[in-house]
Amino acid sequence: MTSCFVTGTGDGVGKTHVCALLLRHWRKEERAVAAMKPILTGFDPADVQGSDAGRLLLAMHAPSDVQGLNLISPWRFRAALAPQLAAAREGTIIAYDKVVETCRSVIGMMPADGRLIIEAVGGACEPLDDRHTVMDWARDLAIPALLVAGSGRDGLSQALASLAAMAQYDVRPRAIVLNESLSNPVPLEEQREILAQHCSVGPILVSRRDATESDQAALAAAVDAAIV
């Protein structure tokens, strides 16, 4: 079984887009696939299918119902804020140890040839409670990590800052995926070339919004090779 922890350089860089792409490809390979987005903020119960959890369920060809949501996103909050703040708005806190325990339980249930994606929330340094961030979560799960970065104007700065933060927690991503931003994108190849000059993490992969099925298959195969 191969599990992968997917984090990003910030909110809205395309983590769910990349995760869904990988899930669809692995399903085509007839692998057992599963995904979790344990902590979900900005959740609108009236638009389940439009949520990140709904998109992951669709990619897995699973029902977007309450049972499905409870399985992949047990901690859901309405406010589109950092998890610690979103939980506080609802008068609660995120039980960090329970989050880690839940993820480990799902990891342990996957078949030997399966693929599990655990998608984090927000950016790499997103605060989960008063003591833990996403990087604590990644370190404590100790499974291969993937960093998704956007290709917007600040994409390089955000990517390098995220990599520096990850290094402080001894979390080294197996690959970086540069996902084409919807607005003001910097050419992906230019961004990849410059990023490679400033970091030793590899491979640095690209995900285009107009990617062909062949492009998506190549990206998924490269990610697979990096995390196995």
127-152 pLDDT per residue, tens: 999 999 999 999 999 999 999 999 98
Of 193, 192, 142, 196, the C-alpha closest to 172 is: 142
Instruction: Report, as an integer, the average pLDDT of 158-179.
Output: 96
CATH number at residue 60: 3.40.50.300
- Average pLDDT for residues 196-221, to the nearest whole number? 92
Name the amino acid, one letter, at 76: R
The first and second tokens of residue 83, run together, are 């998890």
Confidence at 122, pLDDT banded by 50, 70, 90 = very high
- Model-level pTM? 0.95
Q: Which active-site residues does the annotation give? A: 37
DSSP 170-217: T---SEEEEEPPSSSPPPHHHHHHHHHHH-----EEEE-TT--HHHHH
Segment (H or E) for 5: strand 2-8
More confident site: 181 or 103: 103
Length of the chain counted residue by residue:
228
Q: Predicted confidence band at 157 (pLDDT cuts at 50, 70, 90)? A: very high
Provide the domain limits for residue 66: 2-227
User: Mapping DSSP to helix (H, G, I), strand (E, B) and coil, where does residue 161 land?
Assistant: helix
pLDDT tier at 220 (50, 70, 90 boundaries)? very high
Residue 193 confidence (pLDDT): 94
Domain count, the chain: 1
pLDDT score, position 1: 61
Rounded distance, CA 21 to CA 220, Å?
8
